[in-house]
Amino acid sequence: MCAIMGYTAADIPLSRLENAFSAAKSRGPDGSRSLALPGGSLLFHRLAIMGLHPEGMQPFTAPDGSAVVCNGELYGFRQMKRELEAKGYAFSSGSDCELLLPLWREYGEDMFDKLDAEFALILYDAPTGSFVAARDPVGIRPLYYGYSSSGRILFASEPKCLLGLADRIMPFPPGCFYRDGRFVRYRDIAQVDEVCHDSLDAVCANIREKLILAVEKRLDADVPVGFLLSGGLDSSLVCAIAARLLGRPIETYAVGMSTDAIDLKYARQAADHIGSRHHEIYITEEDVLSALDQLIYILGTYDITTIRASMGMYLLCRAIREQSGIRVLLTGEISDELFGYKYTDFAPSPEAFQAEAVKRIREVHMYDVLRADRCISANSLEARVPFGDLDFVRYVMSVDPARKVNVYNKGKYLLRRAFAGDCLPAAILQREKAAFSDAVGHSLVDDLKAHAERVCGADWRDRAEQYAYHAKPFTKESLLYREIFERHYPGQAAMVADFWMPNREWEGCDVDDPSARVLSNYGASGE
């Protein structure tokens, strides 16, 4: 994961911007560069993934004085490169992001909707003197913005880079670009213009084909690639598909509490089936509690679910960084938002299921996507998310919700049916959904709750009132996280929409804890 930053004025010294930007150095340990421009500046930390030579260093510049920084992967860029070369453009590196300025020259603002990519970018268009920023439609690559004391906009990959420079820090909206004071939506990936009424067999065939292609795209890297394997359906499918495509053993990694890990046994089954070189990382209560403060600073959130689920992922990625040469990790995020959580079994209608999916996809950049990005990038690794593939998301969102809602007595039925056969063992393919934070070990959440009980006294409700300005804490655990968050990001709670919770308007979902453990349909998920 690279890091980018940009400012659209010259009233803040470049040295001060560089100092603030150093907070994101872990995202790009392979080199840094700043570029002063007429009326602004661009800054970049590099994690070399494609085009490893020095020529791949950003910012990229054009003869007319334009410049761009990008944290992203442009899939299918080699074909685009050949087409641009045929038009007379020349390239000096193997970096996919070097294509961005020629693409901007060719297509202007229409470029963003043409990209098959996970990206966040800031571009200076010299002929007009405009700064342009944009983010992919799912929001897989992070971008934040705020305004300086002079009212000029700043952008950065992480909110901690904007602390002290902007009073109010907000996430850049996915599927939008900014230019000349306006945010313009170029694609709403959750919006369905035409419902797909394909047959069940056709839907499953398309899901299978599109997910395989999504994984294949994300195997293209000039550095070693690894895989997070929880033993759940989603990560196991990504790993199984990749192993078949590559035709060789892949490197898989799983994490669990040393006392009661649930995921590890399933991850081991999946790894044995696909023949991966499997690695298990065990963590303890001490590991969890000692990492909590730093983790919340890294995440930039107070959300209960995000913090719980991040703990195992962060500690696992730290071990991967310390013990291997892996630089890219494929993950299983975004499947739940598309195909359903345990609580969406309670959806009162297909239309309600679809509305919930729309909400979750539009907000996923603040929750599961944020978790994957920060846990991985904090350890100088890059995340790739096959279930976030634009074509895959568009198709699954378009499928008739009557086919997606759980009328099969098995969640994610379409995905399971699509890969029925010898792709995975039946125990994995049909495994009940378990929240990652629970499946790492129930003790992880129990340890965090017990710690909150010790730290937050009888006056916790009074202490929570000071944060009523946005998403007031409602448990001792949520107060603990919020107090840590406010120490690092004072007054910035609006960066997150609210606490991630089941839809409390649905019967069976009016709960006070986000864990699926509290739902009546949890069933065998904890076994």
Catalytic site positions: 2
Measured in whole angstroms, the distance separating CA 140 from the mean position of its chain's CA atoms is 5
What is the DSSP secondary structure assignment for residue 432, as one 8-state letter?
P
Tokens of 213: 């292609």
Contact (Cβ atoms closer than 8 angstroms) between residue 98 and residue 51: yes
Contact (Cβ atoms closer than 8 angstroms) between residue 170 and residue 36: no
Which amino acid is residue 211, in one-letter code?
L
Which amino acid is residue 333, in one-letter code?
E
- Least Cα distance to 35 among 109, 123, 116 occurs for 123
Sheet with 382-384, edge to edge strand ranges: 277-283, 251-257, 225-228, 328-330, 382-384
Contact (Cβ atoms closer than 8 angstroms) between residue 416 and residue 410: yes
- Least Cα distance to 75 among 334, 381, 386 occurs for 386
Contact (Cβ atoms closer than 8 angstroms) between residue 110 and residue 43: no
Q: Where are the beta strands (DSSP E) in 328-401?
A: 328-330, 382-384
Q: What's the CA angle centered on 390, arms 310 and 516, to 5 degrees?
A: 35
Whether residue 514 is preceded by a cis peptide bond, meaning omega within 30 degrees of 0, is no
Contact (Cβ atoms closer than 8 angstroms) between residue 485 and residue 296: yes
From residue 40, give the alpha-carbon distance in Å to each of 11, 31, 116, 183: 9, 21, 29, 19
Contact (Cβ atoms closer than 8 angstroms) between residue 354 and residue 416: no
Q: Positive or negative CA dihedral for 206, 329, 318, 122?
A: negative
Tokens of 63: 């003869």
Instruction: Read off φ and ψ for residue 523, nearest 5 degrees.
Output: 55, -125
Distance CA 52, CA 64 (A): 26
Contact (Cβ atoms closer than 8 angstroms) between residue 340 and residue 406: yes
> Would you tell me how many other CB atoms lie within 10 Å of the CB of residue 324?
14
Bridge partners of 43?
Answer: 5, 34
Tokens of 481: 């996280």
Which amino acid is residue 509, in one-letter code?
C
- At 13 the three-state DSSP class reads coil
E strand or H helix that includes residue 354 = helix 350-363
- Least Cα distance to 252 among 263, 241, 236 occurs for 236
